[in-house]
Amino acid sequence: MPGVPLELLNSPWFLALVGLAVGSFLNVVIARVPLMLERQWWGDVLHQLRDDASYRRVFGGEVTAAMQQSAAQLEHSIGKLAPFGLSRPASRCPSCGSSIRWYQNIPLVSWFWLRGHCSACRAPISMRYPIIELTCAGLFAAVAWRLDSHSTLWLWCGFAAALLALSMIDWDTTVLPDALTLPLLWAGLLASAAGWTIPLTHALIGTACGYLSLWAVYWLFKLATGKEGMGYGDFKLLAALGAWLGWQALLPIILGASILGAVVGIGMKVSGALREGRYVPFGPFLAGAGMTVMLVGTRRTLDWLGWS
């Protein structure tokens, strides 16, 4: 911004305001990306149903009339879907469908002004929306305080925003979308290659060790129990954290995430909040531990653990 002092743009107070706005956008990302993925998966199903050659290779026979009919019905249903993405359709009340005007969508302010209810039908608006906005504001302010006007300040704010979005999506759906984990991973490697973060060797080793460590745990657990203890998205998220923070940060991240995840999981089990057959997603705890290491500093974290 021409004429605006750099110290102001990089101050915790200004970054907190930016975080409120970004948090409002993250609410859209968290709500819509899972549904966008589901639409994509149904499209993949249709493509597979239409692939007669693949069916013959796998099942050794011709596609049945019932499958052809199912494909036709699915194609018809998909064709009737309205365009859907992060920008379309415009925000609406999920209860009555009323459009949300711009002045009803001001981060944090509008929720309190509307007293947490839709202006048209008075249906309650979840407190999670302002909580995510406040969380993002707090993370941006914490990054600004930690880096103190460093040239990479805004880059690390993007890192924090991505982790917040991934945490909430994983908590809601137990899915860590490749559309977010992979760009986060590549951005970490590119930032390292450009000399903005950590040495490239540390980033590359962190990426490889982050992925392979959880991949090994996954297969050991599956071979021992016959069950899947985590998803491939967790591997990719830890690889992304390794790309940003280096291989030295991986052990503190895994240890912190495991302890916090165990405490929360036991608490939910005892309170009855964890339904039978469900599990607590690991992604939010990996992201939280990664953000903690970033804010505290890898060296200081290792000193606390006595590993330096």
Query: Tell me: the pLDDT tens digits for 212-253?
Result: 999 999 999 999 988 887 889 999 999 999 999 999 999 999
What span, in angstroms and rounded, lies between the C-alpha atoms of 17 and 31?
A: 22
Residues 288-301: pLDDT tens digits? 999 999 999 888 88
Q: What is the pLDDT of residue 2?
A: 58
pLDDT value at residue 234: 96
The predicted pLDDT at position 276 comes to: 55
User: In the chain, where does DSSP find H-type helix?
Assistant: 6-9, 12-49, 52-59, 65-79, 109-113, 128-147, 153-173, 178-193, 200-225, 232-245, 250-271, 283-296, 298-305
Are 78 and 42 in contact by the 8 Å Cβ rule? The answer is yes
Q: What is the DSSP letter of 199?
A: -
What is the distance between the alpha carbons of residues 293 and 288, in angstroms, rounded to a whole number? 9
The band of 207, judged by pLDDT with boundaries at 50, 70 and 90, is very high
Q: Please say if the pLDDT value at position 273 is more than 90.
A: no
**If pLDDT is split at 50, 70 and 90, which confidence band does 275 have?**
low
pLDDT-derived band at 285, boundaries 50, 70, 90: very high
Query: Residue 277: what pLDDT?
Result: 59
Who has greater pLDDT, 117 or 140?
140
User: In Å, how far from its chain's centre is CA 74?
Assistant: 29
Question: What is the token pair recorded at 246?
Answer: 């280096």
> What is the predicted pLDDT for the residue at 121?
87
CA separation for the pair 244, 295 (Å, rounded): 13
